[in-house]
Amino acid sequence: MTHATETFAKRVKSELALNQPQSRRGQRALLSGFVRLAASLSIGSNPILNLRTEVSNAAKLAFNLFRSLYSLTPVFVFERRMRFDKPMVYVVRVSGECIYDVMEDLRALKNLRPIPLRSLVNEDNIQRFVQGLFIAAGSVNSPESKSYFLEISFPSAEDAQAVVKGLSKVNPRFCFRITPIRDRWMIYLKRSSEIAEFLAWMGAPQAALEYENARAKKDFFNSENRLNICLAHNLSKTLKTAEENIRYIEIVKAHNLERRLDAKTQAVMRARVADREANYAELAQRLTETGLPMTKSGVARALATIRELALKVSGEDQKDSAEKK
């Protein structure tokens, strides 16, 4: 993953973390999704819950939610990776026997057993729950990248399938796919329009707007490139046609047959020789500007007449040459 991709993904998570729900139900759903995919629990006489994230606003969000929902005061711990190019990890740590009750209330664990995720995916809280899931284990590449990609990683296929099914009910346009990656299961989107809509739905309108702007800009340049290719192809075709026209004109001139042609056809012949890069429409326009009304089809008919005359003369020459032999 590139640094630019990490930076955009972090900006998205930071925006989502700042979009904190006001209702307790929404807060609990968000924290539940966050804890389910980003936390680790050490059991024992003094259980410890560690919630890790590389986004400072996400760490602040978890701190505030633990305090407002459960009157707990978490401890901040900062972890640095061995490699200096790796970002700092913020750890929100909560300890004490109350952790078991908190995990059960968040519907993450009950009697130290995981509660199936499908029980949390419903229309009442899915938006906030998925918001927490993405902050914990989501990623999205930069809209400036060559391709588009948004993903959320899950520990089991059952969890991934439950979220995909729930999201499809919320919005049929959220066409998430599932794929295994090592010991994880990933749900993902690859269409830019779906990614932008999903970001806005989760609560990151600024990131969604940035995605749409980049997509529109890229589409504009792609359209411009296609136009340039078409123009180059048309010019090549025009030049090839002009070469054929000139060849037939030279045959007619070599046999002094201009007098067999009417005035308009002779005018077309002169215009063609004078401008070898013009297409038929441009030749018609220039002849019209000189006082000789002409259409594109009229130019085509005149040049077809010249071609027929040239081929006829060439055929007669070949016949005479064969008879002499």
Q: Which residue in 208, 289, 248 sits closest to 12, CA to CA? A: 208
200: Cβ contacts below 8 Å, ≥ 6 apart: 208
Distance, CA of 132 to CA of 59 (rounded, Å): 12
In 3D space, the residue among 260, 236, 239, 243 whose CA is nearest the CA of residue 308 turns out to be 260
pLDDT at residue 5, as a whole number: 43
pLDDT value of position 322: 46
Tokens 């018609």, residue located? 284
Q: Reply yes or no on whether the pLDDT at 62 is more than 90.
A: yes
Query: What is 3-203's CATH number, 2.60.40.10, 3.90.550.10, 3.10.28.10, 3.10.20.30?
Result: 3.10.28.10
pLDDT bucket at 61, cuts 50 / 70 / 90: very high
- What tens digit of pLDDT does each residue of 235-280 get? 677 778 888 888 888 888 888 888 888 888 888 888 888 888 888 8
> Mean pLDDT score of the chain, rounded to an integer?
85
Q: Express as a percent the part of the chain with pLDDT over 90.
A: 38
CA contacts within 13 A on the Cβ side of 228: 6
DSSP bridge partners of 3? none
| DSSP designation for 96 | S
> Within its chain, how far is the Cα of 318 from the centroid?
61
**Position 117 confidence tier, pLDDT thresholds 50, 70, 90:** confident
pLDDT at residue 4 in the model: 41
Q: Return the minimum-mean-pLDDT range out of 46-55, 68-77, 197-206, 253-262.
A: 253-262
Least confident of 93-102, 153-162, 209-218, 246-255: 209-218
In the chain, where does the domain assigned CATH 3.10.28.10 lie? 3-203
Sign of CA dihedral 61, 198, 6, 158: positive
Q: 180-220 pLDDT, tens per residue?
A: 998 999 999 998 889 999 999 999 999 888 888 877 776 65
How far is Cα 145 from Cα 192, in angstroms, rounded to an integer?
11
Q: How far apart are CA 118 and CA 107, in angstroms?
A: 11
* Length of the chain (residues): 325
pLDDT score at 235: 66
| pLDDT classification of 144: cutoffs 50, 70, 90 | confident
Say what the pLDDT of residue 273 is.
86
Look at 163 and 4; give whichever has higher pLDDT.
163
66: pLDDT strictly greater than 60: yes
pLDDT at 84: 61
Q: Please state the φ and ψ torsions of residue 176, each to the nearest 5 degrees.
A: -70, 145
Distance CA 56, CA 53 (A): 8
